[in-house]
Structures are given as C-alpha cells and as structure tokens.
Amino acid sequence: MYNFANLWQTDSIIDLYSGLKVKKMEPIGFFGDKYQRFYVHFISVIKNQQNPNEYLVYGKNKLKDNISEIMGSLKISKASIYDFKEIDSIEQGILKGTYILFEDNSKAGTGKFYGKFETEFMIINDNIYYSSIYLSADGFLNNQFQGVWSSYSSGKNYTCNWGDYRIPDSGDLDNGAGEFSVNEKYYANGWRSFETSKGYGMNATREEIEKARDEENKEWWE
C-alpha cells in the first residue's frame, strides 16, 4: 500500500513543465469570522503501521504572536484514482478524510482542531507525489483543510481553515481570480505582508517589499 506522508510535509514539488523541483508555498489559513491570518506547518507526518489509513502528525501553528505545538492524526476515509489522465504517463487521484490536532492543554488559551481534508496526488512510475499537474494554472490549490478550533476551557468553536495556494470556504477574504488575493479590508488582520511581498498592487517601496518578503520567508516553526 502506498505511503502518502510526504504529501503533507514536503517543502518542494515538481514543476512538470520544467522537470525541476520548486519551493512549495507554505499553507495559508484563517481563524474566526474576521479572517485573522493563521499559520500551520506539519514538521513530521508518519504512517501508522497498525492502521495504514491513519497518519500521525506533529507540527506547530501560529496565530498573531502565539505559537503552539500540535499533535494528532489524519485519517483517510476514501482514496480514488481519476478516470481521466491529463498526461498519459501520470495517474491522478484524491484523498478525502478527517483530521484532529491537539494543542498543549497545559497552556492557557489552547484547544483542538478538527474537520475534513482533501489532498490530490499523482503517481509516476508507481511513486506517490504531491499533485502539481495544474501548478501553473489559474486557481491551483491542494491540501484543503476545513474545520474548527474548539477551546479546551470554554468549548467555544471558531472556524479555522487552511490550504496550499487557496483556502477553502474563505468567503470574501479571497477576491483573487488566478491566485489567492486578500481583500483589502482584512490587511490589518495579519495579511499585509503577504500582499506586499508579491511586489505589485500595494504601492510599496522596494524596502517595504523586501521587508515583507523576509517576514513571509521566516521559518517561524523552528
């Protein structure tokens, strides 16, 4: 049976047009109805040898200046291969499942994340890869996580979604056509550096753009 662990922790993906590996964008996410920017990074994903449909996860998340460790699991409920082939030598497929991730309950203001996910993959020479067939196409996305964060102390739930290149069910946060583009009214909720780092559309100085890019490239989970 295939091991899908690398689909959720790889930092590089194959550009099929050039044949080269390129840096994968870090997941983008939001928390709550004000679309506060949310960060998540899976540091380790390991297939559970006792349950081949479960993957054990360790990572970190960040909300504003608060960074928390997370541990939990992804459980695949369905794996299927698409009937069509965009490229004859490559099969494409999708995983669907559920996730639950726990923050450290010894710390104040922590809780758990749970919901559903969808991840697309491709098979090349019987090896599993992160699906990048449509990487250069408008609207490319993958690793879509949609669910809630639930407070340990109060039990109150907040919407918390994230994904690669786009975010599921992101309402009016994303007003981009070809790529994820943040609605200006949410810049103050942690998104200004994301937009400034693109280097266009913000009337920013070169210094401001470089500063934003440094901010976006920080490995905050280290």
Side chain identity at residue 61, one-letter code: N
pLDDT score of 1 more than 80: no
Contact 159, 168 (CB under 8 A): no
| 196 inside domain | no
Averaged pLDDT score across all residues of the chain: 95
Contact 77, 98 (CB under 8 A): yes
List of residues 6+ apart from 8 with CB closer than 8 A: 42, 45, 55, 57, 74, 119, 143
| 113 inside domain | yes
pTM for the whole structure:
0.96
Residue 52, domain extent: 5-175
| 199 inside domain | no
Return left, alpha or beta for 88; rule: phi > 0 is left, psi -120 to 50 is alpha, else beta: alpha
| 144 inside domain | yes
What is the model's pLDDT at position 201?
81
| 187 inside domain | no
| 92 inside domain | yes
pLDDT score of 26 more than 80: yes
